[in-house]
């Protein structure tokens, strides 16, 4: 019984030593056919994407959200990046009530997009495509 208790304690310590997911940086780049939002993370991540419809009564544009469950937000500086390139108005980010992090891309107009996961460095790239892209 004592061996089992010791094994449980050691297992709990090794699980807590595993670092939680953290968002380290958020950057944007504009190219001819798309605008890329790059979210660098501390380890591989699989965010949950969400399409948020425009809310004309409150002046909110159509949006794309990436939810990172349980993630810490370690991004220095303001929580908004103004892009204003004709496809993306701004990228906003913050903590969720559920204890994770959310990255929101405010679109200028409805647009198609693609999301890619990469490792070394671990990151998510969200490409908002030009209307003809």
Q: What is the pLDDT of residues 27-86, one digit of tens each?
A: 999 999 999 999 999 999 999 999 999 998 988 889 999 999 999 999 988 899 999 999
* Whole-model pTM over 0.75: yes
The CATH number given to whatever domain includes residue 117 is 2.60.40.3500
Helix (H) or strand (E) holding 39: strand 34-41
Decide if 90 is inside a domain. Answer: yes
Which domain range does residue 47 map to? 21-129
Within the chain, what is the greatest distance between any pair of CA atoms? 66
Q: Is 70 left (phi over 0), alpha (psi -120 to 50) or beta?
A: left
Are the CB atoms for 110 and 23 separated by under 8 Å? no
């Amino acid at each position: 019984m004592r061996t089992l208790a010791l094994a449980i304690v050691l297992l709990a310590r090794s699980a807590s030593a595993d670092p939680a997911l953290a968002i380290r940086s958020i950057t944007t780049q504009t190219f001819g056919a798309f605008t890329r939002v790059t979210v660098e993370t501390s380890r591989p991540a699989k965010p949950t994407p969400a399409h948020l419809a425009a809310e004309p009564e409150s002046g909110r544009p159509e949006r794309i959200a990436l939810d990172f469950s349980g993630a810490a937000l370690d991004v220095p500086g303001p929580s908004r990046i103004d892009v204003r390139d004709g496809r993306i108005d701004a990228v906003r980010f913050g903590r969720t009530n559920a204890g994770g992090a959310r990255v929101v891309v405010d679109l200028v107009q409805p647009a198609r997009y693609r999301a890619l996961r990469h490792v070394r460095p671990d990151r998510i790239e969200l490409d908002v495509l030009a209307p003809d892209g």
